[in-house]
Structure 1
Amino acid sequence: MSDKPKRPLSAYMIWLNSAREQIKRENPNFKVTEIAKKGGEMWRAMKDKSEWEAKAAKAKENYEDAVKEFQANGGSSANGNSKKRGKAAKKPAKKSKKAESDEDEEDEDSE
C-alpha cells in the first residue's frame, strides 16, 4: 500500500508553477516572496483562466480517483502512521494559582 494521495493543486498554483521562471527572468533581483506577490498580481489581472481551471479540474478528478482507489485498498499508509492535518489536540487549560489554592482549601475542609 502507498501513502494517501496528496491534494491537487489549484488553478492558480498550476499557473504559478509554469510562470515562475518567466517572473524570475524578468525580475532577477526579486526574492521568493516578491515573486509570489508579482504572480498574484498577474493572476488577478488575467482575463482568461479557463486553461488553468481545466487543468485544475482534471487534477481534481485524478485525485478523487486516486483517493477512491486508496480507500478500496484499505485506506491506510503502509507503516501505519496517519498524519492528520489541522490543529493539534487542545491542551487542558492551566489553572490559575487562585483556583488551585481554592481547591486546596476545599480538600482541607473535606478531611
Structure 2
Amino acid sequence: MTEKPKRPMSAYMLWLNSAREQIKSENPGLKVTDIAKKGGEMWRAMKDKTVWEDKAAKAKEQYTKDLEAFNANGGGGEPKKAAKRGKKVAKKPVIKSKKKKNETDDEESEEEEESD
C-alpha cells in the first residue's frame, strides 16, 4: 500500500533549506532557533522571491497530482484516528460519600463496645 503524499514545502522553507549552510558559515555558533530567526529576517528583506515561489508552485502542482492518484487508487484504506491537540482533560477525583465513612466508623465503634 502506498503512503499518502506529503504536503509540499512553502517557498520560504525551500529557500531556507538551500540557505541554511550559508547562514551557518556566516554566523558560526548560532543555535538552530537563531538560524531560523536569521533566515526569517533575510527572507523578509529579499526583494525578488519569484524563483522560490515558482518552485513552491511546481511542488504544489506535483503534490496535487500525486494526491489525486493516491485517492483514485483507494486512498489509505481506513483513516487514522485524528490526534487530539487540545488540552488534556483531567479525570474527576473520586469522592467517597461521608455516609459510607460514617457507617464504617459506627461499625468499628460498635465492635469496640461489644468486645468490652
TM-score range, shorter chain: 0.7 to 0.9
Asked which structure has the greater CA Rg, the reply is: 2
Higher relative contact order (CA 8 A, sep 6+): 1
Equivalent position SS for 2:65:
helix
CA RMSD of aligned residues (A): 2.9
Counterpart for residue 60 of structure 1: 60
Runs of 4+ in structure 1 off by over 4 angstroms are 88-98
Tell me what 1:106 maps to: none
Identity of aligned residues (%): 66
**2:45 paired residue number:** 45
Give the equivalent residue in structure 2 for 1:29: 29
Task: State the secondary structure of the residue aligned to 2:42.
Answer: helix
User: Is 1:82 matched up with 2:63?
Assistant: no
TM-score, structure 1 length as denominator? 0.73
Equivalent residue of 2:5, what SS? coil
Aligned residues: 99
Q: Which runs of 5+ in 2 are unaligned?
A: 98-116
Letter in 1 for 2:5: P
- For structure 1, which runs of at least 5 residues remain unmatched after alignment? 102-111
